[in-house]
C-alpha cells in the first residue's frame, strides 16, 4: 500500500512499479462511496477488443444460437425453481 498526497491540481502519482506491472498509462476511476478504485484500462480499447470474438461458433445461424440460449435459460430456471409435484 502506498500513501500519496493529492496535489492542488487534483493529481496523484502512481508508483512506477505499479504502472509497469499493469502495463498501461490509462486508468478508470470509480467512486464507490467509501473508497476510490483505480482500474487499469487499455490505452487503445479498440485494439484491445480485436479478436475477442474469434472463438465464437460460426457453424450455426443466429436463430439457432438464440434458440439454444433460450433453451439454456429454461433449463437453468427449471433447476433453480423446480415445479411442484
pLDDT along the chain (85 residues), means of 10: 89 88 88 92 82 76 89 90 76
pLDDT of residue 52: 77
pLDDT of residue 23: 85
Asked whether residue 40 falls in the same domain as residue 57, the answer is no
Question: What is the H or E stretch that residue 27 is in?
Answer: strand 26-31
Tally the domains of the chain.
2
CA dihedral over 47, 48, 53, 55, signed as positive or negative: positive
Asked whether residue 22 falls in the same domain as residue 41, the answer is yes
Asked whether residue 42 falls in the same domain as residue 63, the answer is no
For residue 5, is it within any domain?
Answer: no
pLDDT of residue 47: 82
Domain carrying residue 32: 16-47
pLDDT of residue 45: 79
pLDDT of residue 11: 92
pLDDT of residue 32: 93
Q: Cα-flanking dihedrals φ and ψ of residue 31, to 5°? A: -95, 110
For residue 1, is it within any domain?
Answer: no
For residue 36, is it within any domain?
Answer: yes
**Residue 1 burial class via C-beta count within 10 angstroms: exposed 0-12, middle 13-18, buried 19 and up:** exposed
Question: What residue has cell string 500519496?
Answer: 4
Amino acid at each position: 500500500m502506498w500513501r500519496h498526497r493529492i496535489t492542488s491540481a487534483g493529481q496523484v502519482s502512481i508508483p512506477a512499479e505499479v504502472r509497469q506491472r499493469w502495463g498501461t498509462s490509462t486508468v478508470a476511476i470509480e467512486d464507490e462511496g467509501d473508497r476510490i478504485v483505480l482500474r487499469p484500462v487499455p490505452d487503445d480499447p479498440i485494439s484491445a477488443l480485436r479478436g475477442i470474438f474469434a472463438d465464437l461458433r460460426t457453424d450455426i445461424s443466429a436463430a439457432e444460437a438464440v434458440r439454444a440460449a433460450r433453451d439454456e435459460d429454461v433449463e437453468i430456471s427449471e433447476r433453480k425453481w423446480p415445479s411442484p409435484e
